[in-house]
Each structure stands twice: as structure tokens, then as C-alpha cells.
Structure 1
Amino acid sequence: MGEEMRVREPSVLMVDDEKRVADAYALRLEDVADVTVAYGGEEALDTVDGGHQPDVVLLDRHMPGLSGDEVLDRLRERELRTRVIMVTAIDPDLGVLDMPFDDYLSKPVEREDLYAAVDQQCRVLAYELLGEYFQLESKRAVVAAELLPEETANNERLADIEEHLAEIETRVRSLLPEAEELLSSFSGIDR
């Protein structure tokens, strides 16, 4: 894969209680991603609760206080639109089959493998978001085509959908180089 990713600059949250390790992985990604570092589970949760929605979370499993497994469960409870890659020295066992992570990398992780994993998870996220976008946009387009403007004016539900569409579109464009082509081909369909 080389030293580049196909996705544009993703937002990555690196979570590891070992400052040197967290900083080393963040340094590996700084040229290709917007990286935020959290030196523990509580700090990671505070970061996302503060409004930061990373595209990818790189999460160590073995941390004092809140373990990576607990952080993972709490991230999933928050229903964030983010992908989680466990980056850990803990060898996986059968227990990982029940864990809601998206990828699992065993330390140490080479730069190319880190890039590839982040890139892959960002593309998966972008396509998930596109599916949601297309579903909402088709509903919005049908309503706009079939109802009179005075029927749709000041409709809170429609306004919420339009706001959500704009947020999704911005996020997809930040992740996928081919987003413009995908979005324009969808909007070109006559409903």
C-alpha cells in the first residue's frame, strides 16, 4: 500500500495509557490523519462526550482504570458513528468473538499496516454513511417532488432530515475522494 491512504484526512482518536506508545502511534499518523490522543479510558470518553466524533478509534485493551474492553462497550452504548480498531499487545482469544470492535491489530504495528487498517475502516464508515445518506435523501426528494412548498415549509422533521443530510455529506466528502461522483449520480435520479 505504501505510505499513503486512499481516504482523505480522517479523524483518529488514539487511546493508550502508555504515553510513549500513544504518542508514537499518533506520530506515525500525523501526516495522513487528524489525530487526537487520550492517555486512558476516561479521557477517551470525555473526548467523545465533549463533541469530538472520530472516524476511527485506535484502542488499547490493557489500561488501568477503564480497560479498553470497557471503553469499547461504552463507545458502542453512545451509538457513535465511528469504527474501532483494537491496537493491543493482548493476544486474542475466543472472547474477542463477542466484542463489538471492527478490527484487531497486535502490537507492534508497522506504519503501513496502521495506514491500511485506518484507511479500510474509514472507507467502510464512509459507505455506511452513504447508505444512510441515500435513504434519507430519497425520502426528502420524494416529499419535495410531491408536496407543495407551503406543505413542507416550517416542517421540523424535514428540517432535521436536511440538517442531518448536510452533516453526513460533509463527513463523506472528508473521507472519500470519489464522494462527489457518488453523490451527484444519486441526485441525478428522477424521482
Structure 2
Amino acid sequence: MGSGLHVDEPRVLMVDDEKQVADAYALRLEDVADVTVAYGGEEGLSVVEEGRPPDVVLLDRHMPGLSGDEVLAELRDRELTTRVIMVTAIDPDLGVVEMPFDDYLSKPVDRADLHAAIDQQCQVLAYELLGEYFRLESTRAVLAADTAATADTDDRLAAIEADLETAERRVRDLLPEADTLLSTFDGIDREGY
């Protein structure tokens, strides 16, 4: 495992328009995380569109073009399963109460605090994904047991199974004890026989 992190190599996206600052934070994470750096809001959103969502986004608030606040709103509108930590020199005020971030760190942030915040958010994300996995697996079991299945049911079942596979992969990536938790859930008889 990474230095003090429960997760091996969480996927982290660092979004900051100041290249030196973004690169410095990325260096603080290079031994413990798979870090992608974006030098602005538009670039950060492009990175998110390209593939699997990052586990954690480290997001500066004050950037030209799309501000961190706007990027945060867009990330939440897309309903991504990711955690967002604002890492900014802007002191928090009452306006942050309405912002849907998961943590707020004031720059400068030292290595230990950065690692701890990412680790905490990865653990929260893992349990959110585990809850989603359990919900999907229960729905899949009900649909699979339906003897009056239709083509619509089969299509819905295929979509649920794809979502299940994604959730399971991410849970296994984020939780060292995933095998135990997943096998306990699988051991419950849901068909009433």
C-alpha cells in the first residue's frame, strides 16, 4: 500500500491553472497515487470525459476560464462517482455552505495532510460504491428470478450487470477487504427457497 494510504494507487486528478502549483502537488502524490494533472477547468473536464472517473479530484477554486466552483458544479451535474477536494488559497466563507465539495483544504497543504484527505475520501467512496453494488446486485437477483422476463427485462438486466461489474471493480480497487464484504453479501439467500 501507499505511504499511509489504505488504497494502492488511487486515481487522482489535480486541477489547477498554476502549472508549478499543480506539478508540486502531483509530486507529493507520485509515490502513492496515479495522478493526472490538468492546468485549468476546461482541461480538467476533458480529462474526466476521456475515461473512468478519478477516485478523487483535487480542485483549485480561482482559475481563469472555468472556475473551480463551475467545474465542481459540472462534475456534480454529471453525477460522477468521484470525491472532490477543493485545494485552494481562497479562504472559505459562508458561500461554501452551498457548494457540493467533499473536503476543503487551504493552501499550502503539506504531504501528510494531502495523503490523509485523499485516503479518507477514497474510503468514503469505496463504501458508497459498495452500497451501490449491493443495491444493483439485489435488483439483478430479482430480475433474474423473474419467470415472466421480456426483452425489456433482458436489456435492463444486461445494463445492471455492466454497472455491477464496474462497481465491483472499483470497490476491489479501493477496499483491501472487498473480498470478504462481497462474499458475505453473496451468501444471503434472496429467493426465499
Q: Same fold (TM over 0.5)?
A: yes
Percent of aligned pairs with the same residue?
74
- Ranges in structure 1 where 5+ consecutive residues have no aligned partner: none
Task: Give distance in 2, aligned partners of 1:169 and 1:176.
Answer: 10
Asked if structure 2 preserves the Cα contact closer than 8 Å seen for 1:3 and 1:112, the reply is no
For 1:50-61, list aligned pairs within 5 A.
Answer: 50-61=50-61
Matching residue of 2:121: 121
Task: Give distance in 2, aligned partners of 1:3 and 1:10.
Answer: 12
Task: Give distance in 1, aligned partners of 2:75 and 2:174.
Answer: 21
Matching residue of 1:80: 80
Q: Displacement, 1:42?
A: 0.7
- Ranges in structure 2 where 5+ consecutive residues have no aligned partner: none
Q: Which deviates further from its counterpart, 45-54 or 174-183? A: 45-54
Matching residue of 2:63: 63
- The one-letter amino acid of 1:115's match is H
Aligned residues: 188
RMSD in angstroms over aligned alpha carbons?
1.7
Q: Which of structure 1's runs of 4+ aligned residues deviate more than 3 A?
A: 150-154
Matching residue of 1:170: 169
Task: Give distance in 2, aligned partners of 1:152 and 1:100.
Answer: 40
Task: Give distance in 2, aligned partners of 1:157 and 1:147.
Answer: 12
Asked if structure 1 preserves the Cα contact closer than 8 Å seen for 2:3 and 2:32, the reply is no
TM-score by length of 1: 0.93
DSSP 3-state at the match of 2:140:
helix
Q: Displacement, 1:80?
A: 0.9
Matching residue of 1:27: 27
- The one-letter amino acid of 1:156's match is D
Task: Give distance in 2, aligned partners of 1:165 and 1:34.
Answer: 24
Task: Give distance in 2, aligned partners of 1:8 and 1:188.
Answer: 27
Matching residue of 1:157: 156
Higher relative contact order (CA 8 A, sep 6+): 1
Matching residue of 1:95: 95
In structure 2, the CA distance between the partners of 1:152 and 1:185, relative to structure 1 (3 Å rule), is farther
What per-residue deviation string (whole Å, max 9, x for no partner) do you get for residues 20-74 of structure 1?
1101111111111110000001100111122241010000011111111111111
DSSP 3-state at the match of 1:155:
helix
